[in-house]
Amino acid sequence: MDGYFVTFFTQQNRTYRDMPIAKWIIEEATQLGVRGATLMSGREGFGHDGRFHSENYFDQEDPPLQVSMALTCDECDRLMDRLKENQLRVFYTKPKIEFGFTSEG
């Protein structure tokens, strides 16, 4: 299949409707029928605002997070529309990919 490898970048303390944004994205993707997503916590990083984020002892509430998923073009459009409908501003990358399974089963 052809599609996109979409990765959303956020932080643990960013919320939408009393839920971490990363979890909200995963729940919305699930409702849209996306077959899988991966949530990864980063050790440290900085955002567009120049603020440093890390999982160290003094900054535990704000580690960087990534939500990644392989999506068909239609799935990607529907998920991006859902984010726009809810007026969520989240940085993402969206390179084109080919994906599938190596064998039946």
Among residues 73, 78, 93, the alpha carbon closest in space to that of 2 is found at 73
Residue-range domain boundaries for the chain = 2-97
CATH 3.30.70.120 is right for the domain spanning 2-97? yes
Residue 22 burial class via C-beta count within 10 angstroms: exposed 0-12, middle 13-18, buried 19 and up: buried
> If pLDDT is split at 50, 70 and 90, which confidence band does 48 have?
low
Q: How far apart are CA 79 and CA 15, in angstroms?
A: 18
Q: pLDDT tens for residues 70-94?
A: 999 999 999 999 999 999 999 999 9
pTM of the prediction? 0.84
Is pLDDT above 60 for 17? Answer: yes
Among residues 15, 39, 14, the alpha carbon closest in space to that of 26 is found at 39
Q: What is the pLDDT of residue 49?
A: 64
